[in-house]
């Protein structure tokens, strides 16, 4: 039974992932977020909720101790958050990190110029890539709310193939990565819905 810490647990992908974890795995979930009142009713005996800020080093370290996987689905000061998470995981001896970033951070989207709006995503990814963690960085396309699991992945250095992907698809890959600790370790994956007839 894997223990998974979800940082930013009220995020749209995280909410989809929580449903998949509870319905399709036996994982024990710790949901970490700033305002626990925003979570819908979580009456599962496999869910623990911690109200806290990722920038609170001590509280975060306490939450990480004993976990198998840390899944971060965050917005805000991503660079500082990445530094604190890497440090806290090193201190706690937890190796596996799944980090949600954005397409475009390596100028890998054909026909699109790099924009400085991506700087926080690129810099936080660099911090994770230079750590000694067993990380997987996910770089999804634009999110849709389609009720579908339909995606393909590209590796860092390969051109991005599509422009959108459902939140449910990203959540599906998060759950697969959490359940398979050896899958795509130290990889950065682009994630998009296949564009048929390409």
Helix axes 57-64, 78-92, angle to 10 degrees: 50
Q: What average pLDDT does the segment 90-107 reach?
A: 97
More confident residue, 69 or 198: 69
What local confidence, expressed as pLDDT, does residue 100 receive? 98
In what helix (H) or strand (E) does residue 59 lie, and over which residues does it extend?
helix 57-64
**Is residue 144 over pLDDT 50?**
yes
Q: Buried b / exposed e across 144-154, counting CB within 10 Å, b at 16+?
A: eeeeeeebebb
Report the C-alpha gap between 123 and 140 in whole angstroms: 17
Chain centre distance of CA 156: 16
In the chain, where are the structural domains located? 3-192
Q: Tell me the pLDDT band of 39, cut-offs 50, 70 and 90.
A: confident
CB atoms within 10 A of CB 20: 18
**Closest CA relative to residue 62, chosen from 92, 85, 35:** 92
Q: Do 27 and 178 meet the contact criterion of CB atoms below 8 Å apart? A: yes
What is the pTM for the complete model shown?
0.97
Q: Do 135 and 186 meet the contact criterion of CB atoms below 8 Å apart? A: yes
What local confidence, expressed as pLDDT, does residue 16 receive? 97
More confident residue, 74 or 198: 74
Q: Tell me the pLDDT band of 197, cut-offs 50, 70 and 90.
A: very low
What local confidence, expressed as pLDDT, does residue 198 receive? 44
Q: What average pLDDT does the segment 87-99 reach?
A: 98
**Closest CA relative to residue 130, chosen from 178, 87, 189, 88:** 87
Give the fold, CATH level 3, of 3-192.
Rossmann fold (3.40.50)
What local confidence, expressed as pLDDT, does residue 164 receive? 96
Q: Do 72 and 7 meet the contact criterion of CB atoms below 8 Å apart? A: yes
Chain centre distance of CA 17: 10
């Amino acid at each position: 039974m894997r223990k998974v810490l979800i940082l930013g647990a009220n995020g749209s992908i995280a909410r989809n992932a929580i449903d998949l974890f509870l319905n399709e795995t036996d994982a024990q979930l710790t949901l970490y977020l700033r305002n626990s009142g925003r979570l819908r009713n979580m009456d599962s005996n496999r869910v623990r909720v911690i109200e806290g800020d990722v920038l609170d080093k001590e509280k975060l370290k306490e939450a990480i101790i004993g976990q198998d996987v840390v899944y971060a689905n965050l917005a805000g000061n991503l660079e500082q958050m990445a530094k604190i998470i890497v440090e806290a995981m090193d201190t706690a001896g937890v190796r596996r990190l799944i980090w949600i970033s954005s397409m475009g951070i390596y100028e890998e989207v054909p026909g699109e110029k790099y924009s400085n709006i991506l700087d926080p995503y690129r810099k936080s990814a660099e911090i994770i890539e230079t750590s000694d963690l067993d990380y997987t960085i996910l770089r999804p396309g634009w999110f849709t709310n389609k009720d579908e699991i339909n995606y393909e992945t590209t590796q860092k250095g390969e051109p991005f193939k599509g422009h959108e992907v459902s939140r449910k698809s990203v959540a599906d890959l998060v759950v697969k990565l959490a359940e398979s600790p050896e899958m795509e370790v130290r990889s950065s994956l682009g994630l998009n819905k296949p564009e048929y007839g390409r």
